[in-house]
Amino acid sequence: MSTLLKVEDLVKNFGGLTAVSDVTMQLNDDELVALIGPNGAGKTTLFNLLTGVIVPSSGSITFRGPNGTIPLNGKKAYKIANLGMARTFQNIRLFKELSVLDNVLIAMTAHYKEGFVQSVFRLPKFYRTEAQIRQEAIELLKIFDLQDDVDKLAKNLPYGIQRRLEIVRGLAMKPKVLFLDEPAAGMNPEETADLTRLIRQIQREFHITVLLIEHDMSLVMNLAERIYVLDHGSLLAEGTPAQIQQNPAVIKAYLGEEA
């Protein structure tokens, strides 16, 4: 299994506070990894570092591109996204006044670069490309049972379906790595079960690497192949779900003494 994303000795300081401390980890091709830890452990900060939202204080992040290893330190978030990394957020960030279809189309257009002449003069190639993007978006929505919602405004969807749409929009960017930041937050048990099936479906059909932050331990233990545990910004443990469940340090710091 080849390494896709590698993190070495990563540190992020905010003034006198160290939010992420000497974190070393890696993501491999086509695997599902969970990042867990108490509130305030630094999980979202680590996500923000990996996706270019904030810049590391020290350490390195590298990504395997088509022509070799690419350093990500200091790259803008949109450039990192274009390399093949997409994410969702704790708080849903859809274009709520746009339709379901338009939300997906916006994500897909980054992969279709039309020339100035074709765009301005609306030459036949422009319309062919536009039709192709629309058809691909509809096919993607069908995979996730959203084909009947294409014309609905995103704000009018039930909460669980908005979460699903946000994940589909991430997939529309054709990522190699999909970062999911607390995708089950605010969901009821039925919605969480649907989300679990959705994430499994993503792994099966798209063969991408998924890194998720999640507090729902049943979802994590059912889905993850490997788990990293953060505590106070530092890596406390790494291993399979069975290893994490039996790790005394994890039990004390996160899962509870009686776990």
Tens digit of pLDDT for each residue in 74-93? 899 989 998 999 998 878 88
Amino acid at 213: I
Greatest CA span in the chain, whole angstroms? Answer: 68
Which pLDDT band holds residue 257 (cuts at 50, 70, 90)? low
Sorted by where each begins, the domain ranges of the chain are: 3-94+167-255
Residue 176 pLDDT level (bands cut at 50, 70, 90): very high
Q: How confident is the model at residue 135 (pLDDT cuts 50, 70, 90)?
A: confident
Residue-wise pLDDT tens digits, 178-220:
999 998 888 888 888 888 888 988 888 889 999 999 988 889 9
- Dist. CA 57–CA 233, nearest whole Å: 13
Please report, for the chain, how many H helices and E strands are present, in that order: 10, 10
Do residues 45 and 19 lie in contact, with contact meaning Cβ atoms separated by under 8 Å? Answer: yes
Task: Please determine, for residue 258, whether its predicted confidence score (pLDDT) is greater than 70.
Answer: no
Fold for the domain defined by 3-94+167-255:
Rossmann fold (3.40.50)
The CA-atom distances, in angstroms, between 186 and each of 148, 158, 193, 221, 231 are 24, 12, 13, 19, 23
Higher pLDDT, 24 or 250: 24
Are 94 and 162 a contacting pair, CB within 8 Å?
Answer: yes
Task: Indicate the angle between helix axes 189-206 and 159-171, nearest 10 degrees.
Answer: 10
For residues 128-138, average pLDDT? 81
Average pLDDT on 95-114 reads 81
Give just the sign of the alpha carbon dihedral 146, 89, 66, 33. negative
CA distance 208 to 180: 13
**108 band by pLDDT with thresholds 50, 70 and 90:** confident
Look-up of token digits 């507090």: 215
